[in-house]
Amino acid sequence: MLALGQASSDAPAPSAAQKQAKFELGVWLALYNWDALNAAIQHGFSEDNEDPEDKRDWFAGAICELFEEDSNTEIEDVEFRLLQIMEDEFSTRVEDESTELLPGFIMLLWRQTRDGYFKTVDDLQARWESEKGNRETVMAKAKSGSDDESETDEDEDEDVDMDEAPQLVPRQRVEPEVDEDGFTKVLRKKR
C-alpha cells in the first residue's frame, strides 16, 4: 500500500548528469525567452563579432557555472551575474523588472531539476520548438517574398505614366498702401 503523496513508478530516479543537463537546458531556454537579451542580440550590441547564438550558449554556461561552483547559490548572485554579462558582453544596462524575475525563475529551475522535476523545462522546450517552427515558416515566407520583390525591381526601370502633380494655387499678393506723403504702410505678419 502506498503512503499518501508517493507515486508508484518503475522509472529509475534521474541521475545527477540528467538533472544537470535539464537545468542547463532550462537556463538556456530562459535566456532565449528573455526580452532584454533578445533586444541586445537583435540590435547587435555584442562587443565582438561572435555569433549571437554562440554567445547565448556561453551566457547560459556562465550562469550554470554559478551552481556548479556553489550549490547554495543565492538569487542575488544570479542577478549580479546576469547584469554583469549583459553590461560587459552586450553593452546593455537592464533596468526593468526582468532583472528580478529571471533570477527567481532560474532559482526555481535549479530547485526543480535538482529534485528530479522536469515538467517546467519540458514545457519551455515544447514552447521553444513550436515557436521555432513558426519562425522558420515566417523566414521562408519572407525569403520567397524577397524573391518576388527582386523580379519586380527589374520592371521598375521602365518609365511609369503618372498623373501630373496638382498645380499650386498662386498666393494673392497684397498691394502696399502708400500714404499722401509717399510712405509705405508696413503691415504686421499674422502669427
Q: What is the pLDDT of residues 66-84, one digit of tens each?
A: 999 998 999 999 999 999 9
179: in domain: no
The predicted structure's pLDDT at residue 161: 59
Average pLDDT, the chain: 79
Number of residues assigned to the chain: 191
184: in domain: no
166: in domain: no
Return the higher-pLDDT residue of 147 and 35.
Answer: 35
178: in domain: no
CA angle 36/123/54 to nearest 5° reads 45
158: in domain: no
Domain range for 21 is 16-143
Please enumerate in sequence order all residues whose Cβ is within 8 A of that of 99, keeping only pairs 6 or more positions apart, or say none: 36, 79, 82, 83
108: in domain: yes
Please tell me the distance from the alpha carbon of residue 131 to that of residue 125, in angstroms, as a whole number: 10
Instruction: Please say whether the beta carbons of 89 and 55 come within 8 A.
Output: yes
Would the pTM of this model clear 0.95, i.e. be above it? no
Return the higher-pLDDT residue of 134 and 62.
Answer: 62
Return the higher-pLDDT residue of 10 and 3.
Answer: 10
168: in domain: no
Q: Reduced to 3 DSSP states, what percent helix, strand and coil does the chain have, rounded to the nearest 5?
A: 60, 0, 40
Lowest-confidence range among 12-16, 26-30, 45-49, 186-190? Answer: 45-49
31: in domain: yes
How many structural domains comprise the chain? 1
